């Protein structure tokens, strides 16, 4: 399959003599709990970021998926272009690929329901005109180096919502 070959080739690309996986693992501390703690650079909201492809930093759980599991498939259920990388361990800073799974937006909601946090999410953002936003997406918006209009286009979310998220006017509870 051509796509798979491309990914393999990308993963083998050396950077300062180290593969992407080696660069990533140098910044990971494996905890007794099984979670992988990120010790590398953080974005301004305190989330781990990693420059996987040498163009711009991305959130570390998404980088982890791309390194260990492969491509993040297109999300057919949402305007958001790819599926979400979600945490089964409920630790948003964890980068252990075994604690990550893919979900659509609905999957994210189901996951929240299962964890009993649905009411919390609704009260604090998801039903206040930001129906398309999720906590992981809010973190991605805040971590991204893209402009508001680029993000708006890529994620299918109104620019005004992205501005408000970045200024901390909405989704204040998401850190
Ligand atoms: Zn974990």
Distance 101 CA to ligand 1 centre (A): 11
Q: What is the mean pLDDT of residues 77-93?
A: 81
Q: So what's the pLDDT on residue 127? A: 38
**pLDDT score, position 25:** 96
CA–CA distance, 174 with 36 (Å, rounded to integer): 21
Provide the pLDDT for residue 129.
38
CB 105 within 8 A of CB 75: yes
- Domain ranges in the chain? 2-166
Q: Where do the DSSP E strands lie in 7-90? A: 28-30, 36-38, 49-50, 58-59, 84-87
Contact 81, 75 (CB under 8 A): yes
At 113-140, the pLDDT tens digits run 555 544 343 334 443 334 478 888 888 8
pLDDT, residue 131, reads 45
- Reference 45, options 29, 30, 62, 59; nearest CA is 59
Ligand 1: centre distance to CA 29 (Å): 12
Question: 150 CA to middle of ligand 1, Å?
Answer: 31
* pLDDT attached to residue 12: 52
């Amino acid at each position: 399959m051509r796509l798979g070959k491309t990914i393999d080739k990308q993963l083998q690309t050396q950077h300062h003599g180290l593969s992407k996986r080696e660069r990533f693992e140098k910044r990971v501390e494996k905890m007794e709990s099984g979670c992988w703690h990120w010790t590398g650079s953080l974005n301004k909201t305190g989330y781990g970021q990693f420059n996987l492809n040498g163009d711009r930093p991305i959130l570390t759980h998404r980088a982890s998926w791309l390194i260990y599991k492969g491509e993040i498939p297109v999300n057919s259920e949402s305007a958001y272009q790819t599926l979400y990388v979600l945490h089964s361990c409920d630790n948003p800073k964890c980068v252990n690929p075994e604690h990550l799974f893919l979900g659509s937006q609905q999957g994210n909601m189901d996951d929240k329901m299962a964890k009993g946090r649905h009411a919390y999410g609704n009260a604090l953002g998801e039903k206040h005109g930001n129906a398309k936003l999720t906590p992981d997406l809010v973190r991605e918006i805040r971590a991204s180096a893209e402009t508001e209009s680029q993000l708006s286009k890529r994620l299918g979310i109104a620019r005004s919502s992205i501005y408000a998220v970045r200024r901390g006017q909405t989704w204040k509870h998401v850190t």
